[in-house]
Amino acid sequence: MDKIKHKILVLSGKGGVGKSTVSTQLALYLSHIGKKVGLLDVDLCGPSIPKMLGLENREVHKYSDGWVPVYKDETKSLGVISIQFLLGDKDTPVIWRGPKKDSMIKQFITDVSWGELDYLIVDTPPGTSDEHLSITQELLKYNVDGAILVTTPQGVAISDVRKEISFCRKLQLPIIGIVENMSGYVCPHCSECTNIFSSEGGRLLAEQAQIPFLGKLPIDPYLTASAEKGIDYFKEYPNSSTLSALKEFVDNFELKNKTTTPTTTTE
């Protein structure tokens, strides 16, 4: 952990808002611009990142220094750790109680030989329970930069993300900012944007909670297809509107995470 410059959690109180998509594309984009990146999948019951990166049939190996990440390609600019690599069969369910999950997460933090990284991105499951407490408490020991909160624009998602904000503040986990995912559908032919799930909910929540707003990521069918096939979206669609949105998003959080200070509870 001491060799990793920035450690960032991707959180949301709600499932289905695209945390894994945001985590994966953020990690890919950072490696795309020359950063050395690690991506840790802490969604023990629903690991999806190996499929999104085309790494489903890979295995992780353990050496004297710990587990060695599975790398996206020969450049080793993006390394990945997921419970999926330890299960063998992709259809094997993880039927574990809390203590075993807690032990697995601690191993992910202490027993992975990442080497020197610019960024470690940690993808989390929905909610604010066991896995979140374990990963947050462990990373707080290692000077974590903070959390990026993912929401979609509609009110139901916003309501759950408010709980995640409270979770972060109670644990004194810094909040880097909010990103609004699935923010409008941009037609690939005419570039017109249709707000399928409403709009600006993430920005309004950020203003109300006095948290930085990092930007909006549109619904992109090409991105969905790339994740389903495990191919590199940025190589396939270098001129996409999503790539421009991610650039703005990364520029914003790189600026914010240099100045973010821990939030404290008022209770």
Q: CATH no. for residue 188?
A: 3.40.50.300
Q: Angle, to 10 degrees, between the axis of helix 19-32 and the axis of helix 241-256?
A: 80
Strand partners, 80: 39, 70
Binding residues for [4Fe-4S] cluster: 187, 190
* Average pLDDT value for the chain: 85
The SS3 assignment for 7 reads strand
Two structure tokens written together for 100:
């075993």
Question: Residue 243 — very low, low, confident or very high, per pLDDT cuts 50/70/90?
Answer: confident
- Here the tokens at position 6 are 């920035």
CA 43 to chain centre: 11
CA terminus-to-terminus distance, the chain:
31
**Chain segment 14-59, per-residue pLDDT in tens:** 788 889 999 998 998 899 889 999 999 998 888 889 999 999 888 8
Distance CA 174, CA 262 (A): 4
What pLDDT score does 49 carry? Answer: 92
User: What pLDDT does residue 228 have?
Assistant: 84
Rounded Cα distance between 123 and 121, Å, is 7
Give the model's pLDDT for residue 206.
Answer: 93
pLDDT: is 189 or 177 the higher one?
Answer: 177
pLDDT of the residue at 257? 55
CA distance 72 to 140: 28
Give the pLDDT of residue 260: 47
Rounded to an integer, what distance in angstroms lies between the CA atom of residue 135 and that of residue 4? Answer: 16
232 pLDDT higher than 90: no
Per-residue pLDDT band for 197 (boundaries 50, 70, 90) equals confident
Structural domain count of the chain: 1
Binding residues: 13-20, 187, 190
Cα(53)–Cα(47) distance, integer angstroms:
12
Residue 240, pLDDT score? 77
Tokens 């697995």 appear where?
A: 104
Measured CA to CA in angstroms, residue 213 lies from 118, 149, 255, 262 at distances of 23, 10, 12, 17
If pLDDT is split at 50, 70 and 90, which confidence band does 267 have? very low
Going by the annotation, the residues of the binding site for ATP are 13-20
- Please tell me the pTM assigned to this model: 0.88
pLDDT value of residue 265: 38
pLDDT tens-digit series, residues 92-105: 778 888 888 889 99
Domain that holds residue 109: 4-266
DSSP codes of every residue in 24-91: HHHHHHHHHTT--EEEEE--SSS--HHHHTT-TT---EEETTEEEPEESSTT--EEEEETHHHHSSTT
* Reported confidence tier of residue 219, pLDDT bands at 50, 70, 90: confident
Q: Kindly tell me if the per-residue pLDDT of 241 is higher than 70.
A: yes
Buried b (16+ CB within 10 A) or exposed e, 15-29: eebbbbbbbbbbbbb
| pLDDT tens-digit map of 66-95 | 899 999 999 999 999 999 998 877 777 788
